[in-house]
């Protein structure tokens, strides 16, 4: 270490530039740290929202498959009552899904499939609505033939399901046609 000796009457003046630059650098580093922390919370929120959406989609898919199995096995047959999620809509009146209150228990069919182990406890069970549609002919059938050998029309059903995410912030609706 070198000792500096100043001539008599000369004083050592420091201008404080180093301290000023150090404070500016500290401010910049602090802003970078705050920005990185804020980005982390946004990414966490995005991941949580995506997880909720996927849980709702999986629940809706499970309800859709359970309803399809119920239709194909003959479990759902009372469509004339137009209650409990089973509907025989009039074509002139439109779909019962228009303006439907999915929260009303009498309006929807509760999920009746296997246990949904991946759904957290507070999430809602998925719901379904099954509509019987006008019968159709199968592709390749000759619909001009009438009589004993005429083709039998095929029953058609429209299944709509709703699945809700874990914190009720996302809703997924799926729909399929079953014949």
**74-100 pLDDT tens trace:** 888 888 877 888 888 776 666 777 777
Mean pLDDT for the stretch of residues 50-72: 90
Q: Residue 123 above 90 pLDDT?
A: no
Domain that holds residue 30: 17-178
Residue 46 included in any domain: yes
The structural domain count of the chain equals 1
Give the SS3 label for residue 128. strand
In a domain, 138, yes or no: yes
Instruction: Tell me if 3 is assigned to some domain.
Output: no
In a domain, 30, yes or no: yes
Quick one: pLDDT at residue 31? 93
Q: Average pLDDT, whole number, for the chain?
A: 80
DSSP string for residues in 119-143 = S-TTSPPPEEEEEEEEEEPPTT--T
pLDDT in tens, 126-167: 899 998 888 877 676 666 655 555 567 788 899 999 988 888
Is 5 inside a domain boundary?
no
- Spatial separation of the C-alpha atoms in residues 54 and 169, rounded to whole Å: 12
64 is a domain residue: yes
DSSP 134: E
Q: Is residue 12 part of a domain?
A: no
**Does residue 62 sit within a domain?**
yes
């Amino acid at each position: 270490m070198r000792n500096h000796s100043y001539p008599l009457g000369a004083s050592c003046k420091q201008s404080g530039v180093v301290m000023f630059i150090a404070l500016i650098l500290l401010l910049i580093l602090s802003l970078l740290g705050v920005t990185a922390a804020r980005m982390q919370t946004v990414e966490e929120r995005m991941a949580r929202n995506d997880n909720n959406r996927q849980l709702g989609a999986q629940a809706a898919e499970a309800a859709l498959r359970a309803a399809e199995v119920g239709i194909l096995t003959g479990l759902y047959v009372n469509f004339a009552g137009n209650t409990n999620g089973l509907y025989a809509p009039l074509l002139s009146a439109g779909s019962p899904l228009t303006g439907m209150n999915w929260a009303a228990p009498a309006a929807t069919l509760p999920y009746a499939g296997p246990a949904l182990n991946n759904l957290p406890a507070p999430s809602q069970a998925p719901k379904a609505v099954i509509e019987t549609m006008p019968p159709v002919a199968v592709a390749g059938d000759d619909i001009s033939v009438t009589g004993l050998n005429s083709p039998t029309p095929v029953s058609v059903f429209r299944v709509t399901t709703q699945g809700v995410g874990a914190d009720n912030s996302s809703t997924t609706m799926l729909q399929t046609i079953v014949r």
